[in-house]
């Protein structure tokens, strides 16, 4: 079985109870197609970039799941027929992508912090080099001024 990420946009007029019911039905659809839900993220109600089925807003769900390769197209057909879903996207994930998605957010934050430290260090080196270049150009300019004054 392969790993997938499904991003679903539900109707914007749903309350939390209706979203919960829809999520339960969606997970049942995934299980009926031989899959299992690994992780579910509720991103909440967001503004859409353009109108979809006359809606400016939608309730986003991000579901990491497994499914049999042959049954993904059937699952997508069920998503199309389910009236609560106004838009969806199913992506196949590599093992590395799944590990990153399932991993702790703390590890990603730590990596990001280390990367920022390296970036800050590189930027400070660039600033120091820039200051050094300014000093040299000021020295050269003053030397040129002195030769002009001395030559006149």
Task: Give the whole-angstrom CA distance, residue 65 versus residue 37.
Answer: 4
Sorted by where each starts, the structural domains of the chain and their CATH numbers stand as: 2-103 (3.30.70.60)
Q: How many residues does the chain have?
A: 152
pLDDT at 31: 93
Is pLDDT above 80 for 14?
yes
Task: Give the whole-angstrom CA distance, residue 48 versus residue 105.
Answer: 26
Q: What is the dihedral of CA 131, 137, 142, 146, to 10 degrees?
A: 160
State which H helix or E strand residue 103 sits in.
none
**Structure-block tokens of residue 138:** 């000021």
- pTM for the structure as a whole: 0.66
Instruction: Give 36's contacts (C-beta < 8 A, 6+ positions apart).
Output: 30, 65, 66
How confident is the model over 20-74, as pLDDT tens digits? Answer: 999 999 999 999 999 999 999 999 999 999 999 999 999 999 999 999 889 999 9
Share of the chain above pLDDT 70, in %: 68
């Amino acid at each position: 079985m392969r790993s997938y990420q499904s991003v679903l946009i539900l109707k914007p007029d749903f309350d939390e109870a209706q979203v919960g019911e829809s999520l339960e039905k969606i997970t049942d659809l995934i299980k009926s197609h031989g899959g299992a839900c690994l992780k579910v993220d509720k991103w909440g109600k967001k503004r859409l970039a353009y109108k979809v089925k006359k809606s400016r807003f939608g309730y986003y769900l991000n579901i990491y799941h497994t499914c049999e390769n042959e049954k993904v197209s059937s699952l997508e057909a069920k998503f199309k027929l389910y009236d609560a879903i106004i838009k969806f996207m199913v992506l196949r994930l590599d093992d590395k992508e799944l590990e990153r998605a399932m991993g702790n957010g703390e590890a990603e934050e730590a990596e990001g912090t280390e990367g920022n430290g390296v970036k800050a260090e590189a930027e400070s080196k660039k600033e120091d080099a820039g200051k050094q270049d300014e000093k040299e150009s000021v020295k050269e300019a003053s030397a040129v001024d002195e030769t002009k004054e001395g030559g006149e």
